[in-house]
Amino acid sequence: MFSSYIERPQKCSFEGQDPGENILLLLRAHPITNFSWIIFSIFVFFVPFLVPKLLPFTGLNFSFIPANFILILLIINYLLFLTIIFEGFLYWYFNVTIVTNQKIVGINFDHLLYKGVDLAPLSKIEETDSLTAGIIGTIFNFGNVKVQTAGASIAIEMKNVPKAALVADMVLDLVGKPHEHITE
């Protein structure tokens, strides 16, 4: 379940799933998008090793700082390190888009105390757009997919999902089928 593009996931369900509703696609941001917080967390991890090496170049004498304060700063540093990893993973893992045979469900997890759920019934979807931009997006084949419903606003936006053009095409194929819902 750690993949970012899963067709017809087994043993998977979601809150509010209707009887007879089948999950056709489960999407997360491409794993390469995690490198920004991973690199930052590695930097935070090594700060206690780098600071003593860099202090002599400042010309300041920090020998008056008690050892207990240094220990507290180390504990704070490693708590920050663990927090960055924990939040980064949770953000990646729980921000998902689920395409079913009846609707598209976008679950947005911004932090520990906030979860937003966007729903777009397939019968209301009018248009999908996909955008793959940049060298990294092109090399690793990921981008954004916007799903527009009957109205002016974008109902669901899938960010940094793998195979963005294919996902947009799959959604339009589902919408183009009769509204007797697909059950495979």
Q: How many Cβ atoms from other residues are within 10 Å of residue 103's Cβ?
A: 21
Bridge partner list, 99: 25, 104
CA distance 130 to 133: 10
Domain topology for 5-12+95-176 = PH-domain like (2.30.29)
Given phi > 0 = left and psi -120 to 50 = alpha, else beta, which region is 151? left
Residue 111 has what pLDDT? 76
- Where along the chain do its domains lie? 5-12+95-176, 36-89
Q: For each of the chain's 184 residues, which pLDDT tens digit applies? A: 678 999 999 988 888 899 999 999 999 999 999 999 999 999 999 999 998 888 878 877 777 778 899 899 999 999 999 999 999 999 999 999 999 999 999 999 887 788 888 888 888 888 889 999 999 999 999 999 999 888 766 678 999 999 999 999 999 999 885 434 333 4
Q: Enumerate the H helices of the chain as residue ranges.
A: 35-58, 67-94, 134-140, 164-176
pTM here?
Answer: 0.82
Residue 178 has what pLDDT? 45
CA distance 142 to 159: 9
Can you read off the two tokens belonging to residue 76? 């704070």
Residue 180 has what pLDDT? 41
**What is the strand order of the sheet 154-162 is part of?**
125-131, 142-149, 154-162
CA distance 146 to 156: 6
Residue 110 has what pLDDT? 80
